[in-house]
Structure 1
């Protein structure tokens, strides 16, 4: 996914101030006996909160397998998106597993494992525009109001791809989607997995889903720099769960089946 960070200088400063670990993060996790994972539980279906207040989703399920592989307990740390990289840098958790897009800017301050999924930006369109807008390209017009979530790759893509349109940013995905449903906004620009779920959950008969991605984004796990053993473990772990079918099982559960939506009602 998902998201795009502008605050590069402050993050570079945090990198300089980050706690110097005695060893690699992998050693710290094993010694502590707990894998601490940072995520913002609002990005369906990567991570979300169910009726019981539990964090569920694709990333939490993968994190459970990761902790089991390490032989440690799992702690999911709910963190606001705008503070997720700073929180990693200051040692609040060991790894970010939150549908984070790999960007050059972020790679200046964190290290990414190999991408575990590739997604793209898509469009949720106001239903009244179904016959008028049949391609994302048509939205690059001053008469259209488009939106995305503040500080994300969706916002970056919207501004870059549709410079002539009127742009509005929102604090949450849900708020922006509801603005399209109500007709206040013409289109919501966001990651394909989230838009697919939002359309299935709220958009039937209310929205049009232009589901062909117009960008390509690599999603990866992020750790503090200077942790080669942790990175090697993550890359090997990803290869293993893809080879033994675990990855496909979890992917199908969250991206191809909508049974989990019942946990939100």
Structure 2
């Protein structure tokens, strides 16, 4: 992508980030009880806690998706907001469970929570074990220190020999390893994956030069670049992904979640959430159940 388009992306994101009022966003947005969605809950469905929708969200501070409020205790962000809309629509209380990325698959399988919302993208492999109801479209992005000589990442050759931060088991790791294979076949040095789970550590690695590139969700990368000016987005991943609520395969809850999301979209509640977190450009017009996932 041309450098001018990167500038356009950053200007657009800067406007969104500057328009985010974190203090105002600590006030919860509630949704309307939706009888049609409630009717889609399977008969005798066993919630983790009766009368409560238990939702796993990111334990990391990764705005605008999830972060701590000013009380350093309450979780806010677009994912908690959408989780609240779902609970309200289904006539349930909401319980948020801060969860590490590595823990959500076992947590869903073991029944520790009803839904996982940890910026989980739909993939064909994940669809074998989980059901998905989409609620956002997201890209992956490459970001670097603002003073880095790296101006653009278009493909494997641009990461040859670079130290790249990724999360273990993520789509970005799969892309990076695939690009490493291409680099090796072409006689180029592969990138060196740097596995981190803490966003603060990632920031430290980038600013100290211990890593060259951060590869993660575009919404998070652009938010940080616009808010602090210490990083810049220099490329997007090769594929866009549907981000979705994630539930145990075959338990039937996905139908109710889709209905709740569609109702929130129709009433404009969903759009208010994305708008106040600067994610309006990632909205879906309807939720899809188990759409075609990313393949590698």
Q: Deviations over 1:53-100 (max 9, x none)?
A: 111111111111211112221111122221112112212111112211
Q: Deviations over 1:149-185 (max 9, x none)?
A: 2332222222223552222221223312321122222
Matches within 5 A, 1:80-99: 80-99=100-119
Q: Pick closer, same or farther for the CA change 1:88–1:72 going to 2, 3 Å.
A: same
The equivalent residue for 1:231 is: 254
Q: Secondary structure of the equivalent of 2:45?
A: helix
**148-157 or 70-79, which deviates more:** 148-157
Please give the TM-score of this superposition, normalised by the length of structure 2.
Answer: 0.70
Structure 2 residues without counterparts, runs of 5 or longer: 1-40, 184-189, 281-296
Contact 2:115–2:247 (CA<8 Å) still a contact in 1? yes
Aligned counterparts of 2:58 and 2:204: Cα–Cα separation in 1: 20
Structure 1 residues without counterparts, runs of 5 or longer: 1-22, 258-265
Counterpart of 1:135 (choices 137, 150, 153) is: 153
Q: Pick closer, same or farther for the CA change 1:91–1:31 going to 2, 3 Å.
A: closer
Aligned counterparts of 2:194 and 2:143: Cα–Cα separation in 1: 14
Identify the structure with the greater helix proportion.
1
Aligned counterparts of 1:98 and 1:104: Cα–Cα separation in 2: 18
The equivalent residue for 1:255 is: 278
The equivalent residue for 1:176 is: 202
Aligned counterparts of 1:25 and 1:77: Cα–Cα separation in 2: 25
> Would you say 1:186 and 2:209 are equivalent positions?
no
**51-60 or 28-37, which deviates more:** 28-37
Aligned counterparts of 2:118 and 2:163: Cα–Cα separation in 1: 28
Count of matched residue pairs? 229
Runs of 4+ with deviation above 4 angstroms: none
**82-91 or 154-163, which deviates more:** 154-163
Q: Pick closer, same or farther for the CA change 1:30–1:180 going to 2, 3 Å.
A: closer
Aligned counterparts of 2:266 and 2:237: Cα–Cα separation in 1: 27
Contact 1:25–1:94 (CA<8 Å) still a contact in 2? no
Aligned counterparts of 1:36 and 1:208: Cα–Cα separation in 2: 36
What is the Cα deviation at residue 30 of structure 1? 11
The equivalent residue for 1:120 is: 139
* Aligned-residue RMSD, C-alpha: 2.5
Please give the TM-score of this superposition, normalised by the length of structure 1.
Answer: 0.77
Aligned counterparts of 2:107 and 2:237: Cα–Cα separation in 1: 31
